[in-house]
Structure 1
């Protein structure tokens, strides 16, 4: 796939971090498709852009910021679908907690509005 497509995907992931850290639930939700599937680190399945925004409106009232992201791996499954795996963590009240480190899986699709996230799953990193 083209370098432009890879840059567009990375820009989408940058938007995830920017809107989260700004506490912008509407902007965050706008990065997802209307029918997106969103799975939290504790296994809650949230369906749809509206529900994702609603969930994050409350969450963004807490002092949690995203740390990272690590450089994502991007694999284009077609010209209109990309799979991304990234790592990340969070900072709570100014302190980074390694217990909050995650592996993040995203599926992005090309829409008439540009690339949007169709699915997301957050899995905590397991340590022995």
Structure 2
């Protein structure tokens, strides 16, 4: 675990998990993100997921919200559809001040594909973790989910345009 510039706890960035490289008949190149896009683009999108993880684990709603494009769409883990950045910020602040205050996660990128040079789709497994970043066993209290991000390249870098978080099992 490391601290950011303000001394808040920040876990290391997400891992890229190649285990799912052959799911659904997709070839490994497309699933692992080696589809001809630059390694800088792949790194930048994975780092976007890492900043999302850091914002989650530090309960930093403004930092998380800054990762989204100006006109985001997000479906949270309980199925609530959010259609604008201001509402998303309020929802993020609410959960970080309440039910997610002492909850920590790790995101493992399982799939990264580029639909276009400026559009990427990322699937990451959200795994329960302790404050020190160690993974916790999955149970009824600590559940996994899959988060899907459609990221777009903007003048400010890669941003999340669309996201959905879905509980596994």
TM normalised by structure 2 equals 0.68
Match of 1:19 in 2: 55
Secondary structure of the residue that 1:84 maps to in structure 2?
strand
Q: How many residues align?
A: 126
**Larger-gyration structure (1/2):** 2
Cα contact 2:57–2:103 (8 A) shared by 1: yes
Distance 1:8 1:22, change over 3 A: same
Separation in 2, partners of 1:79, 1:93: 36
1:31 aligns with one of 67, 70, 75? 67
Match of 1:74 in 2: 112
Q: Is residue 2 from structure 1 mapped to residue 38 from structure 2 by the alignment?
A: yes
Segments of 4+ in structure 1 off by > 3 A?
Answer: 90-99
Flag structure 1 segments of 5+ consecutive residues without an equivalent: none
Cα contact 2:106–2:129 (8 A) shared by 1: no
Distance 1:93 1:114, change over 3 A: closer
Match of 2:79 in 1: 43
1:59 aligns with one of 83, 86, 95? 95
Shift of the alpha carbon at 1:90?
3.4
Greater displacement, 81-90 / 96-105: 96-105
| CA deviations over 1:29-64 (Å, ceiling 9, x no partner) | 000011110101221001122211111111111334
Separation in 2, partners of 1:125, 1:16: 19
